[in-house]
Amino acid sequence: MDFSALLRNVSIYAIPLLFAIALHEVAHGWMARYLGDHTAELLGRLSLNPMRHIDPVGTVLVPGLLLAAGVLVPSILVTGIPVYGWARPMPVTVSGLRHPRRAAVCVALAGPAANLLMAAGWCAVLLAILRFHSVIVIDYWLGYMAQAGILINVVVALISLLPILPLDGGRILAAVLPERLGARFAKVEPLGLVIVLSLIAMGLIGWLFRPGLFLVGHIIDALFKTRA
């Protein structure tokens, strides 16, 4: 394995990934608090410090393996999912709210929405680098990081909207289904992450989201053209 390439990937992807998955979870907590559930706030989880949201498997092991796979098989950075992870789930209790099913949908949507906003923020960073570049080495590093931030946040948003529990898309589906069907659907939650990781390992996630990733590529290309 090329450890220099691995370290380069870690230096580029680590910060965008940490904030992508941490702020995703914090957004769930913020929305829950707005709707009247203060569980996350009382437990001290409404923090912007990514270290407070790290999950050993989802934040360290899985992204590390995907980054290593990207070094061993570089095409995964183009045709598959380059890096993916998750943070510790945000403790949310909407069952006691006035409209629990509606609240569950709003809380679930808050995470992907936060990722799309972060992707837009990284677009602004990349555009600023291209327009006001100074130190070439730092520019290249920050430029690659901004591109990684755009890609990671779009990937996290798209994957989280898959209708599979415990992903946000699954929680939305469970909330809008009739109560009896929702209860049956909830029984597959323990297998949800296994299903998602299997789809990633088989390359099916990259194929499924290729149009979205293609759009991201066009956005990045458009930003580079503004420099010309």
**pLDDT given for residue 74 in this prediction:** 37
Between 175 and 222, name the one with better pLDDT: 175
* pLDDT band, very low/low/confident/very high, at 226 (cuts 50, 70, 90): low
**Is pLDDT of 123 > 60?**
yes
**Is pLDDT of 173 > 90?**
yes
Residues 31-69: tens digit of each pLDDT: 999 999 999 988 888 888 888 888 888 777 877 777 666
> pTM for this one?
0.82
Residue 66 token pair: 């995907």
**Is pLDDT of 77 > 60?**
no
Q: Give CA–CA dist 104/94, Å, rounded.
A: 6
Q: Give CA–CA dist 66/85, Å, rounded.
A: 9
Q: Are 112 and 172 in contact (CB under 8 A)?
A: no
**Is pLDDT of 136 > 80?**
no
Assign 76 to helix, strand or coil.
Answer: helix
The mean pLDDT of 200-218, rounded to a whole number, is 71
Query: Nearest Cα to 86, choosing from 141, 161, 167?
Result: 167
Residue 161 token pair: 């909207």
Q: Give CA–CA dist 158/170, Å, rounded.
A: 12
Assign 179 to helix, strand or coil.
Answer: helix
